[in-house]
Structure 1
Amino acid sequence: MGGIDRADKAMTYYMVLHRCVKWWKKVFFYLLEVCFCNSLIIYKQQMHPKRVNAEKFRLDIAHGLLVGLESAPSRVGRPPRDPPCRLINCEHFIAINRQRTANGKPSKPDCIVCSNREKKCHQTQYICDKCLEPMCPYPCFKRYHTLLD
């Protein structure tokens, strides 16, 4: 009984049998187990402890390898888009358009929500105080600041 038999005996205590078709996976897990056993032997020789629990030693190695890693992102896929400023609560209020036309009359531009020059033209004297976009007070103002499209 030489060192090989003792090493095989030590490896069988914690060897995890993986049933798989790929031969290289079995070889990988066997080599990983050999590394664990060899590192335990070296640790015992260097530190001279009375007793070392092999299972605790394996967990310490695993925790040591994971210390520097950051946590993986919880979401997979495309990151969410930031919503436009008009959809965020940032003090949007209705105001009266103070601009004047060339002859001095109050300016009434087309509403950006409900007006369409081809079908229907709806002019308004109200604007959003923050966006400076002309729109009807109801329902266009609410629709513009809550709906994405």
Structure 2
Amino acid sequence: MGAVDRSDMMLSSVDCTRKCLKWYKKLFLHSINITLLNAHAMFSTRHTKKTSFANFHLAVIAQLLERYGIVKSIHCDLGNARLQNRHFPVSVPRKPGSTKVGSRRCWVCSHTKQKQAKRKESSYMCPECDVGLCVVPCFKIYHTEATF
């Protein structure tokens, strides 16, 4: 198998391009993936510990998010900050120029593994985690249990 076929095979496991993206966005994401593939190859030559490209890819993403402090976008799961810090519910703010009460989808109700997930709107949220949550019982469940 040639080097191009092998690199295409490895990149296909972590492909993040979508059909609806513009060509220049696809080109940018592909260049990032090629850069990560080259970094994985360099890492593999230096270290005896074998890691898959997908795990290396996720580790790089986690380290970048940790370094630049973008914790809110991944729902406070990095380092279990949602389980260690104190959080308080607040009302979801109204959209500018709207008379309707603000609402968000409850994270626990829509991502539960213990029962059937359902779409439930809530007018409360956790501002630190930036997720919508029902006040009772989902807010407590989200901030005290690792899996729900």
TM-score, with normalisation over the residues of structure 1? 0.42
Give 1 or 2: higher helix fraction: 2
Max radius of gyration: which structure?
1
